[in-house]
Structure 1
Amino acid sequence: MKRQIKRFYLDWTLLLPYLILCITGIILVYSASSYQLLFSEVSTGSKGWKQLSSFAVSLVCLLGVYRMKLKIFRSKGFLFLLLTSNLILLVYTLSKGINAGGASRWINVGFMIFQPSELVSLTLLLYLSRMTSNREANCPFSFSYYKKAMLLCFLFIVLVSLQPNLAGGAMIFLFVLIMLLASGLSPYFTILPIIGFIGIREGLSRVLLSGSVDWLPDKFAYLVTRFKVMENPFIDPTGIGHQSASAYYAMYNGGIFGRGIGKGIQKQGFLPASDTDYIFATAIEELGLIGGVVLLLLVFFMVIRLYQLSIRSKNLYYSQLFLGCGTILLLQVTVNVSSLLGYIPLTGVTFPFLSYGGSSLLILSIVLGLALNARATELREPITVEQREE
């Protein structure tokens, strides 16, 4: 029987929440940025239009990735080129990247400001999915098989952390750990990394808050402020705690039903990064607690759907792809909201599909495009005799 055209297998349970979140993000970015742009004598809709343009490009890329053959992304040549390019971009960013807030995380590629560390998650998603799915199902886990992958992932974590971007490095570490666990890594092997990860976090918190930190390199001095604010967001509402305190005020102002689109108060010069890192606080202020919960549920619905596809998939490579895509979304939204609420130090991680920023939206759209591609490809593949018997 002739296979149907690929577009008939498009998974709308993933695409529809994506479209709703992106369109809502464009509206929120326009609302959150218009006041500041007005006083900067710039068109109040400039950031909104840029976000709309980024969405259009990202949607085209998503559909382009969806239409391509998955074997291209799985080929050794493509993965080698992607891994090498990402490593070069990270090294270049450390030496000649755009510096903002004491961190060098961005490079100017002409039509957009790109953050190479955001590409790492996509790069390792494709690499680890191929590497873990190539191992035979009955083959026991061995460090000799995973040694190269672990060293490569460690190199990426170090390069991202040195920007400095410790939150990004921690997210990559957790992502790699989850992918390896899903591939058959015994939970006993994860005890040491998890204990070490928690120990480093707790130890770092105690050391930074205990006294003098003159020994700390200047580029990591911001950690002291971040941990102090995490311990008490209102420690200095007009100084180091200004961002966190303003975010809490924004969420308080929103109440249950919100003040309405465009009627937020904290974006009017009080809440920094109201259209990027703190856009979820802006969303709650203007859409209310109910609106904020709906946005969270849309993201978590996508995550649950991806995990469901991972569990049900009969192809190990597709299963790892679904798992990795869901984990990337889960980690990003969890870190963003947790830092907003003060459970972890401020990180600078954006809210998926809502925050202003072309590189974040582009990478996440490509990630979703891969998941949609894997789903459609799996549905179009002929059913084997073994699957019919099941």
Structure 2
Amino acid sequence: MLREIATGNAIISVLAVFLALVVGAIMIAFTDENVQKAAGYFFARPGDTVTAVWNSVSGAYSALFQGSIYNFRRPGFANGIRPLLDTLTFATPLIAAGLGVGLAFRVGMFNIGGRGQMLIAASAAGWVGFGWDLPWGLHMLVAVLAGMLGGALWAGIAGLLKARTGAHEVIVTIMLNYVAYYLVSFMLRTPGLLQAPGSNNPKTPAMKPTAVFPLLLGPQYSLHFGFILAIAATILVWWILSRSNLGFQFRAVGLNPNAARVAGINVSRMYVYAMLISGALVGLAGVSQVLGTVTTGFGSGIDAGIGFDAITVALLGRSTPWGIFIAGILFGAFKAGGFSMQAAQGVPIDIILVVQSLIVLFIAAPPLVRAIFRLPDPSHPRRRTVPNVTKEVTVK
């Protein structure tokens, strides 16, 4: 049992996060002014350097915790728990986009067009959100469906080109990112399309109240209905991959498309279906940004780098729905606590970006993690020793 745990993917992900935090602690210590001053007379009083390092690292990670989980300095539980709800708010689009990228991974496709899909989805949902007059509830539903449809169609272009012409989805999705960015930028500067009437700024009007996601716990918290949609999307992706015939075909194509083709699976059709669903999930992230976070109008930076962060979330979650859900919450904590760490301790926010990059580095190199922690290699299973059995022979 211990060997199965030590050679599993989950332990590699946990240790990758731990190693990234350790390297981040080293960088925090090296960039701290008090540590640098104490290091100048290290050989005279080494204890001062050790104390300065401890104060720097513990203070930074304590601020990260208080900015993302619970702030003990705020009076009352209702105020102290607010950072956790901010973390879940930041995690909502990361989970949705990570699910889209992870589902494409399971089919053997690399969807790195999250930025373009989010921009198209945000534009479609925003156009419905500020331009249509519908009753409460129905307005929000139509805006969500419009955004997801926009993301699905934009990602479906890459799936269709791969299925029909063999075009590599990485190149196609990268190019579609640029096309979407400049297309949305054009619409934001054109009156009558997305630009707010009477304004010269490249920004949309505010969303109508009937289309905005309701707040789950009242106006004092930022957590909105998009988090419920992220949970529902996680359950849906889990059901598709684990319990449906379509998910079985997805996994078969991802493992070996040639064998899947011989078994009678239409591989080209699976590529198109996978990109459509992937784009819809990434589009849900764009919808959450427009209807849940930036309801006063948005510009061309509405994606906020989430489309690329989703790749890291999918990798950390090992392309499994619940793994992506947990990874999304972790990266939401990094986003929420990073600002607190910078404000309280003066730690550069770039340290958080370095930690996220190191997580990807360590996840991409499992042999390195196994070598550091002396974990067994799953490709070399332990041989069982066969006991010596002696047979008694009776001589008559």
Normalised by the length of structure 1, the TM-score is: 0.29
Ranked by relative contact order (alpha carbons within 8 Å, sequence separation 6 or more), the top structure is 2
